Amino acid sequence: MGVTERVRFDERGLVPVVVQDAEDGAVLMMAYANREALERTLATGEAHYYSRSREELWRKGETSGNTQRVLEVRLDCDGDALLYLVEPRGPACHTGERTCFFATLAGEGVGISPAGTGESVGIGAMIERLAGTIAARHRQMPEGSYTASLISQGTGHVAQKVGEEAVEVVVAALRDERVAEEAADLLYHLLVLLEERGVGTEEVARVLRDRHR
């Protein structure tokens, strides 16, 4: 039996594919594959999918450049769903977000933050979301965008802003006031600097991981 023969494709010849970052386990997207897409993925190590709207095979990143190197393909216990463990090269979502799952739905028992905002997001997820938005502003450079304005003034200006915000954090800590707000400003400007210099948050995460080990 061939490898793809173990997969139970539906009546349309498709199987759902969940895509997960092999580095940190983040769920990046969900797509579909037909037999040819799966075979090409296994043969090339690059993620291939099947577009239901365009009714055609497509390789992730063929137009955007945001490709996915597939490190492992897993089949679920029923054989009717796949998991791609990938090394992403750029955002997975067409909006510029790192992951397609950036919106939160709140209910009576789910997704209610202590502050009652209806959204509960960890700092890691929030940093990834913000980095995706900054990357989108960099690509589009919309008029009136503060992020675009910072980037347009070059590395020196953005680096100076990071230094200023770092000082603000120190001052806030010594005064024991607005520490969270000033820290948020520092993180934002640091992410802008990383984007301007072409350094991805995944690179920083990799360094932190190695040091933690």
User: Is 127 found in the same domain as 81?
Assistant: no
Q: What is the mean pLDDT of residues 109-117?
A: 52
113 is a domain residue: no
User: Is 73 found in the same domain as 141?
Assistant: no
CB 182 within 8 A of CB 164: no
User: Is 71 found in the same domain as 21?
Assistant: yes
| Number of structural domains in the chain | 2
* The pLDDT of residue 97: 80
pLDDT in tens, 54-108: 899 999 998 888 999 999 999 999 999 999 999 999 889 888 888 888 777 666 6
Q: SS3 of 78, please?
A: coil
Where a domain ends, among 32, 63, 88? 88
Where a domain ends, among 88, 108, 132? 88
* The pLDDT of residue 2: 67
* The pLDDT of residue 209: 84
107 is a domain residue: no
* Range(s) of the domain holding residue 63: 14-88
User: Is 37 found in the same domain as 84?
Assistant: yes
DSSP letters spanning 104-137: ----SSSS--TTSSS----HHHHHHHHHHHHHHH
Tell me: pLDDT of 122 over 90: no
129 is a domain residue: yes
* The pLDDT of residue 121: 59
134 is a domain residue: yes
* The pLDDT of residue 192: 96
74 is a domain residue: yes
Tell me: pLDDT of 115 over 50: no
What CATH number is attached to the domain comprising 160? Answer: 1.10.287.1080
* The pLDDT of residue 205: 85
Per DSSP, 48 falls in state E
161 is a domain residue: yes
pLDDT in tens, 20-55: 998 878 899 999 999 999 999 999 999 999 999 889
* The pLDDT of residue 120: 52
CA dist 57 to 14, 37, 191, Å? Answer: 11, 6, 35
User: Is 70 found in the same domain as 146?
Assistant: no
What CATH number is attached to the domain comprising 49? Answer: 3.10.20.810
Tell me: pLDDT of 135 over 50: yes
Phi, psi values for residue 20, rounded to 5°: -125, 140
pLDDT in tens, 143-202: 889 999 999 999 999 999 999 999 999 999 999 999 999 999 999 999 999 999 999 888
82 is a domain residue: yes
193 is a domain residue: yes
